[in-house]
Structure 1
């Protein structure tokens, strides 16, 4: 069932799980992967799921449903995580050095999927915030190894320069959301 925003939705910091969550009413709660250290100070207090948040969420669900074959639950999971990241994560500096330069010019847009390639592997990432020279992307693959000891899990974010974003091969448009 595709969840659509309601007036009683609210962002909260879940002390038990120590992550940002969205209270969806009717005793339902969605837990994001975002821990306190990565959140803006306002995210520590209960906050409404605003009209701006709802518009971003709905637009993303609509875009993803047209480009990917996902279940409603996967769409909701991706869209809620992207909405949380877009509005409630602290700003990041680009960390492009982890990825190879793409030799194709791309247009970065919120909700668009790209490939990031390092010397070891390639991962799928979705733009959740696009700037003039860099984009904040959310990792869509299960894991993104950055170094021997550092990796990003699915739905974690990293900011990269646009020249690191490569078009996805046509066969890679399948994303396995957890």
Structure 2
């Protein structure tokens, strides 16, 4: 079952867990993976889940329905994390140097899934925000070691130039006439 935004939803910084959370009513709270150093100052106090946030969340769920085959619970999790990332993360500079360049030109748009390749590993990422040259992507895989000291965990975001996004391999059936 998909959760639809309600008037009582609120963003708040959860000090006990050290991450941004969304209060989804009296008895439910969703924890994002985003720590205080990544968040804009407004995200560190209570903030309403606005109409703009609700619209983005609903649109994101619809995009996920079209782009990947996952459970409703997973869609809610991705959409809440994506909404938090889109509105409440500090702007980032691209960190493309961690990733292999793609030989194909891609069209990046919110909700689209790509691969990133780093040190021989391929992981799937979901576009959360896009601009002319770069996209903010959320890691769908469990984790990715960027180098010997830095690891990106599932649902964390990183900004990369579009030339680092590899299209997913599609299984194409060829019909013979």
Question: How many aligned positions are there?
Answer: 171
Structure 1: 4+ residue segments shifted above 3 A: none
Correspondence for 1:86:
86
Matches within 5 A, 1:74-113: 74-113=74-113
Residue of structure 1 equivalent to 2:53: 53
- 2 CA distance for matches of 1:46 and 1:100? 39
Task: Write out per-residue CA displacement over residues 34-91 of structure 1, whole angstroms, 9 at most, x where no aligned residue.
Answer: 0111100000110110111111111111111122221111110011001001100011
Deviations 1:108-141 (A, max 9, x none): 1011111111232011011111011111111111
Question: Structure 1 residue 13 and structure 2 residue 10: aligned?
Answer: no
- Please say if 1:165 is aligned against 2:136: no
C-alpha distance in structure 1 between counterparts of 2:83 and 2:72, whole Å: 16
Q: Which has the larger radius of gyration?
A: 2
2:155 aligned with 1:155: yes
| SS, match of residue 30 in structure 1 | strand
Deviations 1:9-49 (A, max 9, x none): 00000111111000000311000010111100000110110
Q: What secondary structure, in the 3-state scheme, does the structure 1 residue paired with 2:105 have? A: coil
* 1:65 alignment counterpart: 65
SS in 2 for 1:170: coil
Q: Which runs of 5+ in 2 are unaligned?
A: 172-177
Give yes or no for contact 2:67–2:112 (8 Å, CA) kept in 1: no
Q: TM-score by structure 1 length?
A: 0.93
8 Å contact kept, 2:67–2:111: no
1: distance between equivalents of 2:112 and 2:140? 11
Unaligned runs of 5+ in 1: 172-178
Q: Which residue of 2 aligns with 1:2?
A: 2
Structure-1 residue corresponding to 2:137 = 137
Residue in structure 2 matched with residue 176 of structure 1 by the alignment: none
